[in-house]
Amino acid sequence: MSNTPHPYIGFGLGLRTCYFEEILATQPNVDWFEIISENYFVDGGKPWHYLDQIKEQYPIVMHGVSMSIGSTSDINFDYLGNLKKTIDRVQPMWISDHLCFSSLGDFNSHDLLPMPYTEEAIDHLAQRLNIVQDYLQRPLILENVSSYLTYQASQMSEWEFLSELHSRTQCRYLLDINNIYVSARNHEFEPETFLDAIPQQAIAQIHLAGHSDFGSHIIDTHDQPICDQVWRLFENFAKTRGPINTMIERDDNFPPFSELMAELDHARAIAPESWSVHDFA
C-alpha cells in the first residue's frame, strides 16, 4: 500500500481554532494545513464551518491522536469508522497518527505512551497496521513520540525499531524532530544518530515544535517556540535529504498567527533550495 512515492507539497502549519478567521481573511502563504482528526468527529458547528471553507483553498493533512495503533486491545472499529467518515469529507493528502498506545480496553489515557522496542511489538504493530490500512484503504503514517522512560524489555534503540518496522511493512514516518530531541535529552543519545538511521523513502513528513525544559528532563509540551537546537538539527538533517513535507506544530499557548508564519518562513529559509515550492498558478 505504501510503495507509491509520497507527494511533496512543501511547508505547512497546524490548523487550530483560534486562527480560523485570520486564515480565511488573510489567505496566508502556507502550502498546506494539518488538522487534528478527532476535532472533526462532530456532526457540525464551528470546526466544520471553517474547515469546509479552508479546504477549498489549501491542501489538508489529517493527524490523529487517539488511534492507539500499538494497543493490545481489540481494534476500535467505531473509532476507525469515525475516522473514515472524516477522511471521506476532508479528502486529505495523507493521514497520520502516533507510533504508540494510548488506550487499553475501555481506558483512554489521552497520552502517547511509548511502545517497548521489541520484536514482539514490531510483529504486533505490523499486524495492526495491516488491518487499519486495509480498512481505511490508504497508508497510515506514523509519528515518533517523545518518551520519558526506557523499558527493561527493549531489545533495540528507537531508530532501529523504526527502521525494522519500515523494512517489514514499508510504512512511512512523520518524524517529529522536537520529539527526537526531547527523547535524546531524556535518554542521553545523539539525535543525529536517530535521524541518520531513517531512510529517505521512510519519511513522509516532519514536525517542528517546542518543548519545556525542566533541567533534569524535558517534556514535549508543544506550547513554546521551536528552540535553537531543534532548528539546527532540522537544518543539518535537511541538507542531507531530498524534500520532505515540513510542518510547524503548536498545540497550546497560541501566539499571534504572524509568529507561526515567521517560524514557517524560517524553516523555508534554512531548508535547501530543492525544498522550495514554486507557485506556478
Query: Contact residues for another protein (CB under 8 A)?
Result: 38, 41-46, 48-49, 66-68, 71-72, 76, 79, 101, 103-111, 113, 116, 118, 120-121, 124, 148-154, 186-188, 216-217, 219
H-helix or E-strand containing 54? Answer: helix 46-57
What 3-state DSSP class applies to 254? coil
Q: Which is nearer to Fe ion, 38 or 249 (CB)?
A: 249
Question: Residue 16, interface with Fe ion (CB under 5 A)?
Answer: no
The reply to whether 211 sits near Fe ion by the rule CB under 5 A is no
Does 97 participate in binding Fe ion (rule CB under 5 A)?
Answer: no
| Shortest Cβ 141–another protein spacing (Å) | 19
Residue of the chain from 207, 238, 247, 250 that contacts Fe ion (CB under 5 A): 207
With H, G, I as helix, E, B as strand and everything else as coil, classify residue 44. coil
Q: Residue 10 contacts by C-beta under 8 Å, 6 or more apart in sequence?
A: 31, 32, 243, 245, 246, 275, 276, 277
**One-letter amino acid for residue 5 of the chain:** P
Compare residues 165 and 182 and give the one whose CB is closer to Fe ion.
182
Q: 176 vs 263, which CB is nearer to Fe ion?
A: 176
Contact 186, 217 (CB under 8 A): yes
Q: Hey, what's the cell of 215?
A: 533541567
Query: Residue 72: which of another protein, Fe ion, none does it interact with, CB under 5 to 8 A by kind?
Result: another protein
Q: Give the cell for residue 168.
A: 517489514
Cell triple for 183: 527523547
* Residue number with CB closer to another protein (55 or 266): 55
First-last CA distance in the chain: 31
Q: How far apart are CA 214 and CA 243, in angstroms?
A: 34
Residues in the chain: 281
**Angle at alpha carbon of residue 24, lines to 22 and 28, rounded to 5°:** 75
Return the one option of Fe ion, another protein, none that residue 41 interacts with (CB less than 5 to 8 A, by type): another protein
Among positions 31, 38, 158, 176, the unique one binding Fe ion when judged by CB under 5 A? 176
Q: Under the criterion CB under 5 A, does residue 250 sit at the interface with Fe ion?
A: no
Q: Site for Fe ion (CB under 5 A): how many residues?
A: 3
Q: How far is the CB of 102 from another protein (least distance, A)?
A: 8
Comparing CB distances to another protein, the nearer of 180 and 198 is 180
Q: Minimum Å distance from CB 245 to Fe ion? A: 13
CA dihedral 182→186→192→197, nearest 10 degrees, is -100
Question: For Fe ion, which stretch binds (CB under 5 A), given 7-15, 68-76, 161-169, 175-183?
Answer: 175-183
Binding residues vs Fe ion (CB under 5 A): 176, 207, 249
